[in-house]
Amino acid sequence: MKYMNFSDIARHYRVSDIPEAMTQFLRLSNILDAVHNGRPLDATSLEYLKEKNLKALHQLATGQINYEAYLVVADVERLARDKAAELERQAQEAAYRVRNAERAAKYKRERETAEAARIARESDPKYIAKMKSQVLRRKYGLDFIDQPLFPRMMDILTRIDAGNRLAEDDVVWLNTVAKEYFSEGLQKAYHQREAEFYAGEYRRTQDPWSAVNGSGHYRKCDQSKAALELLDSVPARSFKDAKVKSAMCTTRGGVMRDLGLRSEALQLGEQGHELQPRNFRPCTLLGAVHMELGNLGEGMSWYAKAEERGASERSVDTELRSIFQRADKAKREAIKAVLLADDPSRYRWVNHKRYQGN
């Protein structure tokens, strides 16, 4: 007997229109295989053929008819199934048209009702205030705010949107109680206001520390070029002591890192460290740049020095997460191996799916 696969067998017995017959290892295809290879069917299988209204196949399997006679009856059954399927298709299409018509009529009614309600609402002052609130919240990525925090959050959003700085207690509140709502958009707006304030303070007082602070805030709202312009406006004669010089080097180094000029960033970080060996900020800059360059051991060493000099573990981990997420796949794997080898408990976050990237 010529070898036939399960789909060939289904066609041989005129049941290829039945999905179960065309799918290997399902019950009907197994029954067909048994009939084709002369194996007897058990009572359960025979009953199954009756349930499926496969009378011809039942008769063939029980020896009541031969294959030639089977084909005659099977073709009739196939035509009957095709006709039944066509009738079912037509019935489904008719039902679909009815449902579509009902949905269209319902949609029209709802649209008319909604339009009437919209017209009524537009003149309502409460509705207008609510819409303004929604627009403001969405502008800063806050679709929902818990009711207990809502009044203060809306006051903060209104003030920051008007170009005002936030009070110190507002910033503390946003970083603690309302941390969930200190969105990226709101953080950038906050840093923008702070950057503009400190830039203005520098122009007014010529205090280099205002330029340093303003530059830091410009960086945090993705305006590194503005940060560089502010730093460039500070004359060298303003660097009166090692602390100011170190801060200027470190801040400028951070800007160079933002702009992808990592060699310059390294040089500036090293200068900042030489000027203030006990300050952690040049160390964190050098740690970040070395990690981004792939000098992972050196980067981790600088981060360790930063923590020895007062950098918080939380701030270091936040920066490492940021570097890890921005790295390509190969570099992420390398960073992951180094971090887990250093402290598998502290850096277990590298295995979390949110840090896996593409």
The answer to whether position 86 is within a domain reads yes
What mean pLDDT value characterizes the chain?
Answer: 92
Any idea what the Cα angle at residue 258 is, between residues 255 and 259, rounded to 5°? 90
The predicted structure's pLDDT at residue 357: 58
Select from 115, 134, 157 the last residue of a domain.
Answer: 115
The predicted structure's pLDDT at residue 356: 66
CATH number at residue 258: 1.25.40.10
The answer to whether position 163 is within a domain reads no
pLDDT digits 0-9 by tens, 256-266 = 999 999 999 99
pLDDT digits 0-9 by tens, 301-345 = 999 999 999 999 999 999 999 999 999 999 999 999 999 999 999
Mean pLDDT (whole number) for 120-136:
80
The predicted structure's pLDDT at residue 100: 92
The answer to whether position 89 is within a domain reads yes
More confident call, 358 vs 356: 356
User: Whole-prediction pTM value?
Assistant: 0.63
The answer to whether position 232 is within a domain reads no
Question: Any idea how long the chain is?
Answer: 358
pLDDT at 298 over 90: yes
The predicted structure's pLDDT at residue 2: 57
pLDDT digits 0-9 by tens, 48-87 = 999 999 999 999 999 999 999 999 999 999 999 999 999 9
pLDDT at 131 over 90: no
Mind spelling out the 3-state secondary structure of the chain? CCCCCHHHHHHHCCCCCCHHHHCCCCHHHHHHHHHHCCCCCCHHHHHHHHHCCCHHHHHHHCCCCCHHHHHHHHHHHHHHHHHHHHHHHHHHHHHHHHHHHHHHHHHHHHHHHHHHHHHHHHCCHHHHHHHHHHHHHHHCCCCCCCHHHHHHHHHHHHHHHCCCCCCHHHHHHHHCCCHHHCCHHHHHHHHHHHHHHHHHHHHHHCCHHHHHHHHHHHHHCCCHHHHHHHHHCCCHHHCCCHHHHHHHHHHHHHHHHHCCCHHHHHHHHHHHHHHCCCCHHHHHHHHHHHHHHCCHHHHHHHHHHHHHCCCCHHHHHHHHHHHHHHCCHHHHHHHHHHHHHHCCCCCHHHHCHHHCCC
Select from 68, 94, 115 the last residue of a domain.
Answer: 115
Percent of the chain scoring above 70 in pLDDT: 97
The answer to whether position 173 is within a domain reads no
pLDDT digits 0-9 by tens, 18-56 = 999 999 899 999 999 999 999 999 999 999 999 999 999
The answer to whether position 324 is within a domain reads yes
The answer to whether position 233 is within a domain reads no
The answer to whether position 166 is within a domain reads no
- Supply the range of the domain harboring residue 95: 1-115
For 63, residues 6+ apart whose C-beta sits below 8 A from its C-beta are: none
Match 């290892």 to its residue by tokens. 25
Percent of the chain scoring above 90 in pLDDT: 83
Select from 56, 87, 115 the last residue of a domain.
Answer: 115
Q: How many CB atoms lie within 10 A of CB 214?
A: 25
Q: How many domains does the chain have?
A: 2
pLDDT at 129 over 70: yes
pLDDT band of 358, cuts 50, 70, 90: low
